[in-house]
């Protein structure tokens, strides 16, 4: 079961990826986790990635793909994986397809967690984070017991810059320009499946698990 998760920022694909990984006993692989693990372990690829990250530069596609293929070779990926956050562009998707093909391998499914932009803006605009402990809440879906105060430590809650409507709109614009074309790419490959991400988290998960049966 080799899966890639697609969806706009705030669509909930990361949450669903973790749930799939837990249910089916396969690793949830995100590029951020791979970078951190390789840098921490001082691997050759990690050292190369760190050089770019320390300068505030994006890690080149070729190096990111090398790190991902190295991760796929680990024993815990024997029964599959859930890939989250890569590919983000057509060039990355094509390179991933070719790298897998070179090993007589391929993805089984690309799952698009579909949520309209206006829903995402509402979702992310309602998020609040504790400045003290990092606890997260939502004014509609998971409100704190006392408005503006963290349930966990009593600290002040604030809206993160990433969640401001103007920032969310910019992130969505980038997503539609760069990442949305992946939906057409994987549709052409015949492995795209779309689920309704506007539903409750558990309902979305039930829709996803039904795809595997």
Residue 143 lies in a domain: no
Largest CA distance in the chain: 56
Give the range of the structural domain holding residue 89, as residue numbers without chain letter: 2-27+74-116+173-211
Confidence (pLDDT) at 109: 97
Domain containing residue 111: CATH number: 3.40.50.300
Domain count, the chain: 1
Confidence (pLDDT) at 123: 87
Residue 188 lies in a domain: yes
Residue 91 lies in a domain: yes
Sheet containing strand 2-6, strands side by side:
28-30, 81-84, 2-6, 109-114, 192-196
For Cα atoms 168, 11, 207, give the angle at the middle one, nearest 5 degrees.
Answer: 170
Residue 128 lies in a domain: no
pTM for the whole structure: 0.84
Confidence (pLDDT) at 171: 87
Residue 111 lies in a domain: yes
Token duo for residue 65: 């793909």
For each of the chain's 213 residues, which pLDDT tens digit applies? 999 999 998 899 989 999 999 999 999 999 888 988 899 999 999 999 889 888 888 889 999 999 999 999 999 999 999 999 899 899 999 999 999 999 999 999 999 999 999 999 988 889 999 999 989 899 988 899 999 999 999 999 999 888 888 888 988 998 898 888 999 999 999 999 999 999 999 999 999 999 998
Confidence (pLDDT) at 43: 92
Confidence (pLDDT) at 31: 86
Residue 80 lies in a domain: yes
Token duo for residue 210: 């039904």
Residue 82 lies in a domain: yes
Residue 41 lies in a domain: no
Catalytic residues: 13, 88, 127, 160, 171
Confidence (pLDDT) at 10: 86
């Amino acid at each position: 079961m080799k899966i890639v998760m697609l969806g706009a920022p705030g669509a909930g694909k990361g949450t669903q990826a973790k749930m799939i990984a837990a249910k089916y006993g396969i690793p949830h692989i995100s590029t951020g986790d791979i970078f951190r693990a390789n840098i921490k372990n001082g691997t050759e690829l990690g050292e190369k990635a760190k050089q770019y990250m320390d300068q505030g530069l994006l890690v080149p596609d070729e190096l990111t793909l090398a790190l991902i293929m190295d991760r796929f070779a680990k024993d815990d990926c024997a029964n599959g994986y859930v890939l989250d956050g890569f590919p983000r562009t057509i060039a990355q998707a094509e390179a991933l397809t070719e790298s897998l093909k070179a090993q007589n391998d391929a993805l089984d499914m690309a799952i698009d967690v579909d949520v309209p932009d206006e829903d995402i803006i509402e979702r992310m605009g309602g998020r609040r984070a504790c400045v003290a402990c990092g606890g997260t809440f939502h004014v509609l879906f998971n409100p704190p017991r006392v408005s503006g105060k963290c349930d966990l430590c009593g600290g002040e809650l604030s809206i993160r810059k990433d969640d401001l409507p103007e920032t969310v709109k910019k992130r969505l614009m980038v997503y539609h320009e760069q990442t949305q074309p992946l939906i057409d790419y994987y549709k052409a490959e015949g492995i795209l499946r779309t689920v309704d991400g506007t539903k409750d988290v558990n309902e979305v998960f039930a829709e996803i698990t039904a795809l595997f049966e």
